[in-house]
């Protein structure tokens, strides 16, 4: 009989830090200890604390082990599983309280988890995503059962409308309304499409849901199909997510086997068929019309709307298209009701939002918080603050389509409308934190490089406009621009926004506009003073050796890849050897010398 | 899947197997599994508890886990039962058969098996 469960994170983060070999080590050590009958090994989806991976949790105690290596496994098995003594040195403890008995700390007691409200991620890190029975044990498919046996399609739509659920892919369009527009349209075949083409740099919410709880997407899509009268569904997921694709396919196969997909589900006469379509990694295919064009087998390019997909979508048929996270909310809304959902979040943005925390932050990972939580709480408390005692500068939301939130607005309550009001956007949930060492012009340039690459080329404002924007930013960061260029830059931004065909172009200038709004002084420093205040833009930097600090060890000279550092004749007072100097003509500003100097004698100026 | 009853059947069957991860269980049975406990025969006791708890349908409310040395090595195997809102009960010199009896009478029936407790041993 099983008395303990060992949960090993099998999300992409922990897999890449070696959770597969840890699982194998557990298997062999558990077998060696003769515990196969007593201890069950479960591979789950993402727990959220990716920075601390690979992550292992032992139940019933809920002991949370972080940064486990294969060498630790033997100790965990022999001490904890056999003798019941948790391995203290591996336990992660951050309860925010002092003098706690860390052997009794469970994951839910940590600050990182305490402030979260897991609706979308409720099963991630709890169930085995490859086992449909475990999903069913967690009320899985009960919502589909309820919908098919007790509710009329219009009741389902009304419930979703009442819940106030808004599209989590970034647009924030009311989901119920989308379904309502699609439902009355008559057609031989209607479609439900799940957008899992998560392309924002730094965002991995949807991947984690697909990896950790794939059945909830299947269930939600079937519910949507029933509500709008569609019998066929597609999940469009990027091929760069191999684990998510494999688990989702496995889940679809299981659901078909159980008759939870296919013909006459729950004896209701409702049929629903679900298939996966792989995206080839084009960012524009996250745009709904481009996505559908791609499913049809054509080159992924957007088309003008109207007609909207609800009228003419996939294969010119009425189609409902929602994002992974949006779908993941649906089964819970059906089971617990619209009022329950509305009780979370703010008046106009109900429910929760998942954020992928990245950049200069202690707890890189995945968090789910109620809408209306302040950015300060997300970054300082849940995220654990900025590493190395650096100062917070800004947070980028919405990836290449979004904007940045500066320190002065860190107490903004995060929801759709508040972020739009400050010229930012919610986006799909990527949250990249930047500290004083990040140059905001360089950051805008990074995202512009991305959109230039990803522009599909169909419309001129986006194709040519973003390229010109990037050239202007290049001019600024290389110190060749004047003040007039900043005005031109801004003007072009608005032009691209107004004239582009789809969301990609319409939002591509946002990182530039937001940084211009909040960090104009940095642009001016680049243009007028020819300086990069954060010390990032290489063309505006010179590397200098402080001749009085230099002890003449020569370490920098030996490590300089271009031989730009030479000995001088000057011996500083108190030193025995002559100091070195950098030949600025030869210097490529790689920073290797700074990294090597133990006396902090080399500076960027 | 042709009916809700089928779904419910799977759910009922599976619930016992995943409930351990919810941390919501109210009663804890803790078996002393330090070197002294294992030497005195704690492993079969632990096995008997796990089995009996599952067989009596108590898996939704009772967890069985181990702990280190309780400190009364001469009384091992020692088993402690923690119930919410009640005083802890300590059973000593346990065997697999005694374990089954404790599950039946104490965990299921709500009556402490006094003769196996530490109070009765001194």
For A72-93, the pLDDT digits (tens) are: 999 999 888 888 888 888 888 7
**CA A160 to CA A366: how far, in whole Å?**
25
Minimal C-alpha gap between B67 and chain A (Å): 4
Q: What is the 3-state secondary structure (H, E, C) of B50-71?
A: HHHHHHCCCCCCEEEEEECCCC
* Residue B21 pLDDT level (bands cut at 50, 70, 90): confident
Residues 6+ apart with CB under 8 A from A477: A439, A441, A442, A445, A526, A532, A537, A539, A540
CB nearest A259 (choices: B1, B51, B53)? B1
Sheet of strand A352-359: strand arrangement:
A365-370, A352-359, A430-435, A392-397, A404-406
- Burial of residue A42, with CB atoms counted within 10 A of its CB: 0-12 exposed, 13-18 middle, 19 or more buried: buried
Distances (CA, A) of A254 to A124, A139, A221, A257: 18, 16, 15, 5
Half-sphere exposure of A311 (CA within 13 A, CB side): 4
- State mean pLDDT over A253-261: 96
**CA A125 to CA A111: how far, in whole Å?**
17
Q: Which residues of B touch A139 (CB under 8 A)?
A: 11
For A341-359, the pLDDT digits (tens) are: 999 999 999 999 999 999 9
- Please give the backbone phi and psi of residue A386, each rounded to the nearest 5 degrees, phi first: -90, 135
* Residue A125 pLDDT level (bands cut at 50, 70, 90): confident
**A180 CB neighbour count, 10 Å cutoff:** 18
- Over its C-alpha atoms, chain B yields an Rg (Å, rounded) of 16
pLDDT at site B122: 59
Q: Which residues of B touch A36 (CB under 8 A)?
A: none
Q: Which letter, b or e, does each residue of A14-38 get, where b requires 16 or more Cβ atoms within 10 Å of its Cβ?
A: bbebebeebbebbeebbeeeebeeb
Q: Which residues of B touch A264 (CB under 8 A)?
A: 2
Residues 6+ apart with CB under 8 A from B90: B70, B78, B79, B80, B117, B118
Check whether A461 has a pLDDT greater than 90.
yes
For B37-90, the pLDDT digits (tens) are: 888 888 899 989 988 988 888 887 888 888 777 778 888 899 999 887 788 899
- State mean pLDDT over A436-448: 94
Q: Is B34 on the interface with A (CB under 8 A)?
A: yes
Check whether A200 has a pLDDT greater than 90.
no
pLDDT at site A100: 57
Residues 6+ apart with CB under 8 A from A72: A65, A87, A90
pLDDT at site A458: 92
**CA A133 to CA B8: how far, in whole Å?**
11
**A296 CB neighbour count, 10 Å cutoff:** 12
Domains in chain A, please, with CATH?
A: 4-114 (3.40.30.10), 142-341 (3.40.50.11540), 352-435 (3.10.20.600), 440-529 (1.20.1440.230), 542-604 (3.30.70.20)
pLDDT at site A98: 54
Check whether A423 has a pLDDT greater than 90.
no
- State mean pLDDT over A451-469: 94
- State mean pLDDT over A234-245: 95
Q: Residue for token digits 């991620």?
A: A121
Do A60 and B23 count as a contact with CB atoms less than 8 A apart? yes
* Residue A135 pLDDT level (bands cut at 50, 70, 90): very high
CB A328 within 8 A of CB A220: yes
Check whether A206 has a pLDDT greater than 80.
yes
**CA A59 to CA A40: how far, in whole Å?**
10
Q: Where are the alpha helices (DSSP H) in A131-241?
A: 132-137, 142-150, 153-163, 175-182, 205-212, 214-228
Do B50 and A2 count as a contact with CB atoms less than 8 A apart? yes
- State mean pLDDT over A397-414: 91
Counting residues of chain B whose pLDDT is more than 90, the rounded percentage is 25
Tokens encoding A123? 């099963």
pLDDT at site A121: 93
Residues 6+ apart with CB under 8 A from A96: A111, A114
- Burial of residue A231, with CB atoms counted within 10 A of its CB: 0-12 exposed, 13-18 middle, 19 or more buried: middle
* Residue A339 pLDDT level (bands cut at 50, 70, 90): very high
Q: Residue for token digits 């997407």?
A: A217
pLDDT at site A212: 93
Counting one residue from A and one from B, how many pairs have CB atoms under 8 Å apart? Answer: 95
**CA A430 to CA A442: how far, in whole Å?**
19
**A164 CB neighbour count, 10 Å cutoff:** 21
CB A193 within 8 A of CB A321: yes
Minimal C-alpha gap between A104 and chain B (Å): 12
Check whether A108 has a pLDDT greater than 80.
no
* Residue from B12, B15, B18, B25 to probe the interface with A (highest A Cβ count within 10 Å): B18
Tokens encoding A420? 């739009």
Do B3 and A108 count as a contact with CB atoms less than 8 A apart? no
* Residue B13 pLDDT level (bands cut at 50, 70, 90): confident
**CA A156 to CA A146: how far, in whole Å?**
10
Whole-number average pLDDT of chain B: 85
Minimal C-alpha gap between A10 and chain B (Å): 17
Q: What is the 3-state secondary structure (H, E, C) of A6-28?
A: EEEECCHHHHHCCHHHHHHHHHH
- State mean pLDDT over A438-449: 95
Check whether A558 has a pLDDT greater than 90.
yes
**CA A350 to CA A172: how far, in whole Å?**
11
**CA A540 to CA A422: how far, in whole Å?**
31
Do A83 and B25 count as a contact with CB atoms less than 8 A apart? no
Do A137 and B21 count as a contact with CB atoms less than 8 A apart? no
CB nearest B25 (choices: A4, A60, A134)? A60
For A301-328, the pLDDT digits (tens) are: 999 889 999 999 999 999 999 999 999 9
Which range (A221-235, A248-262, A535-549) has the least confidence?
Answer: A535-549
| C-alpha A48, offset from chain centre | 11
pLDDT at site A194: 97
- State mean pLDDT over A544-560: 92
**CA B102 to CA B109: how far, in whole Å?**
9
Q: Is B5 on the interface with A (CB under 8 A)?
A: no
- By C-alpha distance, the chain B residue nearest A2 is B50
Closest CA to A512 of A454, A576, A447, A573: A447
CB nearest A136 (choices: B10, B20, B65)? B10
Distances (CA, A) of B6 to A139, A254, A265, A328: 13, 15, 12, 24
Which range (A129-138, B8-17, B68-77) has the least confidence?
Answer: B68-77
CB nearest B4 (choices: A7, A59, A149)? A149
Q: What is the 3-state secondary structure (H, E, C) of chain B?
A: CCCHHHHHHHHHHHHHHHHHHCCCCCEEEEEECCHHHHHHCHHHHHHHHHHHHHHCCCCCCEEEEEECCCCCHHHCCCEEEEECCCCCEEECCCCHHHHHHHHHHHHHCCCCCHHHEHHHCC
For A259-304, the pLDDT digits (tens) are: 999 999 999 999 999 999 999 889 999 999 999 999 999 999 999 8
Sheet of strand A63-65: strand arrangement:
A39-44, A4-9, A56-59, A63-65
Domains in chain B, please, with CATH?
A: 21-120 (3.40.30.10)
Tokens encoding A221? 């899509």
Check whether A118 has a pLDDT greater than 80.
yes
Check whether A394 has a pLDDT greater than 70.
yes
Enter the pTM of the model.
0.88
ipTM of the prediction: 0.78
Q: Are strands A319-323 and A191-196 parallel, antiparallel or unpaired?
A: parallel
**CA B46 to CA B64: how far, in whole Å?**
8
Distances (CA, A) of B22 to A108, A471, A491, B61: 10, 55, 55, 11
Residues 6+ apart with CB under 8 A from A152: none
Counting residues of chain A whose pLDDT is more than 90, the rounded percentage is 76
């Amino acid at each position: 009989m099983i008395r303990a469960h060992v949960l090993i994170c099998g999300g992409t983060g922990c897999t890449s830090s070696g959770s597969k070999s840890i699982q194998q080590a557990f298997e062999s050590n558990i077998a060696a200890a003769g515990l196969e009958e007593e201890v069950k090994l479960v591979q789950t989806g993402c727990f959220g604390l990716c920075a601390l991976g690979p992550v292992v949790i032992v139940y019933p105690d809920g002991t949370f082990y972080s940064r486990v290596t294969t060498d630790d496994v033997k100790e965990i098995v022999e001490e904890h599983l056999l003798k019941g003594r948790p391995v203290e040195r591996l336990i992660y403890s951050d309860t925010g309280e002092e003098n706690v008995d860390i052997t009794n700390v469970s994951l839910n007691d940590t600050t990182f988890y305490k402030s979260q409200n897991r609706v979308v991620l409720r099963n991630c890190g709890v169930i085995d995503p490859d086992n449909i029975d475990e999903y069913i044990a967690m009320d899985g498919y009960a919502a589909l059962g309820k919908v098919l046996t007790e509710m009329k399609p219009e009741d389902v739509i009304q419930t979703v409308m009442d819940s106030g659920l808004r599209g989590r892919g970034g647009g924030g369009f009311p989901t119920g309304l989308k379904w309502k527009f699609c439902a009355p349209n008559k057609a031989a075949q209607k479609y439900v499409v799940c957008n899992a083409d998560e392309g924002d740099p730094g965002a991995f919410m949807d991947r984690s849901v697909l990896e950790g709880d794939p059945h909830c997407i299947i269930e939600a899509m079937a519910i949507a199909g029933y509500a709008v009268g569609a019998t066929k569904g597609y999940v469009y997921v990027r091929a760069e997510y191999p684990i998510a694709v494999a688990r989702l396919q496995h889940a679809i196969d299981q659901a078909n086997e159980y008759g939870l997909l296919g013909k006459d589900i729950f004896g209701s006469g409702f049929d629903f068929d679900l298939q996966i379509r792989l995206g080839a990694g084009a960012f524009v295919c996250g745009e709904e019309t481009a996505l559908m064009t791609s499913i049809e087998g054509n080159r992924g390019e957007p088309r003008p709307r109207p007609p909207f997909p609800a009228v003419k979508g996939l294969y010119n048929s009425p189609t409902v298209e929602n994002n992974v996270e949006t779908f993941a909310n649906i089964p819970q809304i059906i089971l617990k009701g619209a009022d329950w959902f509305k009780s979370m979040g703010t008046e106009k943005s109900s429910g929760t939002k998942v954020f992928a925390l990245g950049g200069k932050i202690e707890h890189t990972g995945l968090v789910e918080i109620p809408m209306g939580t302040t950015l300060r709480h997300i970054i300082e408390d849940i995220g654990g603050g900025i590493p190395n005692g650096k100062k917070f500068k800004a947070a980028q939301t919405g990836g290449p389509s979004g904007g940045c939130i500066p320190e002065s607005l860190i107490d903004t309550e995060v929801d759709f409308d508040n972020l739009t009001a400050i010229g930012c956007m919610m986006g799909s949930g990527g949250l990249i934190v930047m500290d004083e060492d990040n140059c905001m012009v360089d950051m805008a340039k990074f995202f512009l490089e991305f959109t230039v690459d990803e522009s599909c080329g169909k419309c001129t404002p986006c194709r040519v406009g973003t390229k010109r924007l990037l050239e202007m930013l290049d001019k600024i960061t290389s110190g060749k621009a004047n003040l007039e260029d900043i005005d031109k830059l801004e003007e072009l931004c608005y032009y691209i926004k107004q004239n582009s065909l789809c969301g990609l172009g319409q939002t591509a200038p946002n990182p530039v506009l937001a940084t211009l709004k909040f960090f104009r002084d940095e642009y001016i420093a680049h243009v007028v003073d020819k300086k990069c205040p954060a010390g990032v833009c290489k063309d505006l930097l010179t590397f200098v050796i402080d001749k009085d600090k230099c002890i003449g060890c020569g370490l920098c000279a030996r490590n300089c890849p271009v031989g730009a550092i030479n000995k001088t004749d000057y011996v500083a007072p108190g030193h025995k050897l002559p100091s070195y100097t950098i030949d600025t003509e030869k210097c490529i500003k790689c920073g290797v010398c700074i990294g090597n100097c133990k006396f902090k004698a080399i500076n960027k100026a | 899947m042709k009916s809700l009853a089928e779904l419910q059947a799977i759910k009922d069957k599976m619930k016992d197997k995943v409930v351990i991860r919810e941390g919501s269980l109210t009663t804890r049975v803790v078996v002393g599994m330090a070197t002294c406990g294992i030497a005195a025969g704690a492993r079969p006791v632990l096995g008997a508890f796990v089995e009996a708890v599952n067989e009596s349908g108590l898996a939704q409310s009772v967890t069985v886990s181990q702990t280190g040395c309780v400190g009364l090595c001469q009384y091992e195997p020692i088993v402690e039962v923690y119930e919410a809102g009640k005083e802890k009960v300590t059973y000593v010199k346990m065997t697999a058969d005694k374990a089954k009896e404790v599950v039946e009478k104490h965990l299921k029936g709500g009556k402490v098996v006094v003769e196996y407790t530490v109070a009765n041993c001194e």
